[in-house]
Each structure stands twice: as structure tokens, then as C-alpha cells.
Structure 1
């Protein structure tokens, strides 16, 4: 397993200039916001407004901190996402307007290029294990607090907002901490 420490994440402005994103990891390595195949990032959202448009991209959003964000996706009725909601998937190339009914939030954003990759994001806690389902699958687990993880060859403790890139099977003891299991697969 490869540990990705929050202190090492790359910070950059949003594509629309409205804030800052914290890039956890991107593929291919060192890809920009216009040419990635897949990307995992976090952002602090402090004001209402439109999302950046990413042509040909699918996106899944989860709320990590704060009291929620309401999303109006492609003109549909707004949907409220909270820290307790399941991750919400939608196309990143349609109009999305966000409102913050109770102030600033931090979100987890997973994006894949629709023609090349798919992804799934699962919210998990308690004792669980995660295994690769194929040699081509990429699995990354993000912890929202201190969480011990153990594979057949190694063990590590992730701190808040650290992540781990999994090579085989890993056991996780996330008692009262939420983790996000991100699976990325080529088409």
C-alpha cells in the first residue's frame, strides 16, 4: 500500500477561479485539470455558486465537513447532500448550482473521463476489508479521522484526510470514523 498524506497534497485554484482545490491524486501523474483520466480531490466551498464544467467527465461528490450543500443539477430540483448522505454521482459537463444552507463545507470530489474510466465511491465505517477485484482496478481509501489499516505485508495509521492506495487486500478498523472507498476501473 502507498500512503498519501494530507500534508503532501497539491493545492491549486478551481477551474472557474471561485476557490481552491486540494488534489489528493491524479492519473496520469502530473496531469492538469484539463487532461486527467481520473482525479480525486477535496475543496472547501464557502459561498453559493456554479460548479466548474468538465466536458466528458463523470463526478461523484461527498460531504466531508460542514452542514451540507444543496445541488441543483442540470435544472432538476435541488438535492441536499450532508456528511451522512451517500455519495452523489452526476455528469460534470452539465450546469450545477450549489447553495450552502448552513455555511462552509468541505467536499470530496472524484472525477473520471467518461470515455476511458468508471468509478464508484462508497461511504464506510466500522470494521471492514477492501480487496481489488481485478489487476487493473485502482482502490484508494480516504479517512476522515485516525484509522488503523493492515494488509498482509504492512500496517499503517491514517490521520484525518490521509489516504491509502491499496495493492491487494486491506483490513480497516474505522470504529467511529467514516472512510470513503474509491474504486476506479478502465473501460
Structure 2
């Protein structure tokens, strides 16, 4: 179990050079944009335009801040996404572009290498204590809004945008939330 603090995340350029991304975690450790098995990051999107293409990657996007975007993924109807929308999954190697609804946004990106890893992303509003199953290969819990305290011998407190990274050795984790807390739970598993 590791606590990843927002102040320590690595900021790097987008693959297409159009902005910056804030890397929360990547596997294997130190992997670049072309050789990761999985990657979780946030990006500030300032203008409408094309997304970077990632060959052989599946991606899930969630809006964290801002009015939202309309995603156009080749072969699909446009997807309007706001901070209240469910996470949206799509192949990262299909032509994709985004149109901002009303100004910049910040998004959460989860990417896994097809054939090696799979992922699930859940937006979890928490107003009462809850238990989170963490039996995946890796589970990341991002505190989006409010704060959350994870019970245990030594309680762990996450502030906004801090992340808890767990392996399969902790099967269930109990969360004591602040009022109006929202978490993102990312489960990453090996492909069969």
C-alpha cells in the first residue's frame, strides 16, 4: 500500500505536444508513453482538438473539473461528458477528438495495454462509510472531492487528488468519508 500525494506527481508533455499530463502512476515503474502496461494520469485540456493516438491501448476518460467535453471517437456517436458523467471507455488507437463545451477541463485518464491488462473505473460518491473491494492486480483510489480516511492500524487520510495504490494483498478497504466526498476507484487486472 502506497500513498501518492498530488504534489509529487510527475508533469510531462502530451504525446502529441498539445498540452501537459500529470502522471499519477505507471507500470512498470519508469515506463514511457510507448512501453507502459498501465498508466493513470490527469490532463488539463485548454482547447478543442485531436487526442494523442496510443497503439494497442484501451482508455477510459472521466471529467474531473470544468463544464465538460464532447468526444468524437471514430465509428461512435458523439459522447457528451461532464463532471457528473460516468467514465467513458474507448480504444486509444482510434481517431478521437474533443470539443470543449465551455472552457478548459481537467480529465482523468486510465490506459491499459490491450492483451496484457484490463481496467475498470468507477466514480464513487461517498457520504457514509463504505468497504471497497481491492482484489485486483492493482487498485488505485483517487480522492476527487472532499477527503477520505482509510481505516486501519495507522489510518490514512487522502486530500483532493491524492491517490492510494494497493496490490491484491489488501482484499477490502474501509473508507470513512468527509461530507460530499467523491472517489475514483481504478481496478487493473491481468488479461486472461
TM-score (norm 1): 0.94
Deviation at 1:75, TM superposition (A): 4.1
* Correspondence for 2:183: 179
Task: Classify the secondary structure of the residue corresponding to 1:144.
Answer: strand
- Correspondences of 1:11-30 after superposition (within 5 Å): 11-30=11-30
Answer yes or no: is the 8 Å Cα contact 2:151–2:176 preserved in 1: no
Give structure 2 stretches of 5+ with no counterpart. Answer: none
What is residue 129 of structure 1 aligned with on the other side? Answer: 131
Q: Given the alignment of the two structures, is residue 144 of structure 1 paired with residue 144 of structure 2, yes or no? A: yes
Alpha-carbon shift at residue 78 of structure 1 (Å)? 1.3
Deviations 1:32-77 (A, max 9, x none): 0010000000000010000000000000000000010100111433
Structure 1 residues without counterparts, runs of 5 or longer: none
Q: Secondary structure at the match of 1:7?
A: helix
Which secondary structure state, in structure 1, belongs to the residue aligned with residue 7 of structure 2?
Answer: helix
Aligned position for 1:115: 115
Q: 2:173 aligns with which of 163, 170, 174?
A: 170
User: What is the root-mean-square deviation in Å for CA atoms of aligned residues?
Assistant: 1.3
**Contact 2:134 2:173 (8 Å CA) reproduced:** no
Residues 17 and 51 (structure 1 numbering): CA distance in 2 closer, same or farther, change over 3 Å?
A: same
Aligned length: 185
Counterpart of 1:86?
86
